Amino acid sequence: MSAPIPFGLWEAFMTCNCTADRKPSAKNWAATWIGILTGFAFLGGLLFVTTTTNASSADAAATTEEPATVLVRLETTKGSIDIELNREKAPISVDNFLKYIDDGHYDGTIFHRVMPNFMIQGGGFDETMSQKPVREGIKNEWENGLSNVRGSIAMARLGRQPDSGTAQFFINVADNGFLDQPRDGAGYAVFGKVVEGMDVVDAIVSVPTTRKGPHQNVPVDNIVIKKALRLAEKDAEQSDG
């Protein structure tokens, strides 16, 4: 919608009603120029306010933009594991993981499957080996350029069902590049990496295991995720210090 003509300009155009047989007086010319200058001053102020408002809106949008990476911590009975989630490469997987963290889903769950030279898996069962309720599966982001190398965290899922990943995840303790390959139509989507606490991961994968019901490679003694939480960078630095 166009802005209305400022009163000063409108008045100037109206008062400058000159014809060939009627010359404007000096008084009329003075009034005309005062009106014009007043109008331009108004337009300049309007332009400044509009520009400032647009700049403020852009600054606000930049401030609320989500960061490319997010730090989280898994506090376990073996120690803490700090993980950097890659929202830029795996936005769906990261947002899914964060929702489960914010909902408190992982608190009290266990690492129910640990396999030396392979990975540790958790996020789905409580200490009684009862499976926790989850949301629907998400899109598999396995083609995001991230690889299943040592220290990476990836989405667990059902075989031959690429988009069945929900809350369960695994942390690679070795370079498992074969998991990047679409053996059943898709690979396994990596969405972050361990940045602190890989020694805790190695301790977990080394514990004695047994069979519990239909589940193999279950730690004899429960390894519990006591708390999963988002972690600000300054909190991580203080913890390291």
For the chain, give every domain's residue range: 7-64, 69-233
C-alpha dist (Å) from residue 110 to 27, 92, 167, 200: 90, 24, 12, 14
Amino acid 13: pLDDT: 38
Q: How far apart are CA 119 and CA 186, in angstroms?
A: 19
What's the topology of domain 69-233?
Answer: Cyclophilin (2.40.100)
Q: pLDDT under 70 in the chain at which residues? A: 1-64, 233-241
Burial class (CB within 10 angstroms; exposed 0-12, middle 13-18, buried 19+) of 116: middle
pLDDT for res 59: 52
| pLDDT score for 240 | 55
Enumerate residues 6+ apart whose C-beta is below 8 A from 87: 66, 67, 68, 69, 70, 94, 95
Distance CA 92, CA 109 (A): 22
pLDDT on residue 66: 82
Q: Where is 13: in which H helix or E strand?
A: helix 7-15
